[in-house]
Amino acid sequence: MSKIFESPDGGKTVYSREFGEHQSWLDRQESKFREEILWKDILAAAEHSVPLQDAVDRVKVLYYLNKEYGNKET
């Protein structure tokens, strides 16, 4: 089923609902949404940049190490 995205404040807060439904749910807020877009852009750019891909790989290693040995909530 298709989703409909609505924002009462010009994109700062986004609600989603299934097509044909009336109840909507908070989907994301501006800062989280912008962060997601930023990481998507970084990952796309890393496909054409060895230094950037190296940096992304280092972030992944840190993430997995932190998840395994550090903060268990990550």
Supply the pLDDT for residue 72: 60
H or E stretch at 13: strand 13-18
Q: Is residue 11 part of a domain?
A: yes
Look up residue 25 and give its two tokens: 């749910």
Confirm whether 19 is domain-assigned: yes
Q: Which domain holds residue 33?
A: 3-69
Q: Is 74 a member of any domain? A: no
**What is the pTM for the complete model shown?**
0.54
> What is the number of other CB atoms lying within 10 angstroms of the CB of residue 27?
16
Report the domain count for the chain: 1
Res 48: pLDDT:
97
Q: What is the pLDDT of residue 25?
A: 77
HSE on the CB side for 41, CA within 13 Å? 6
Cα torsion through 20, 21, 27, 29, rounded to 10: 90
Quote the Cα angle for 46-48-52, to 5°.
35
- Listed as ranges, residues in the chain with pLDDT below 70 are 1, 29-31, 71-74
Q: Please report the pLDDT score of residue 30 as a whole number.
A: 67
For residue 52, is it within any domain? yes
Is 60 inside a domain boundary? yes
Question: What does the pLDDT read at residue 54?
Answer: 97
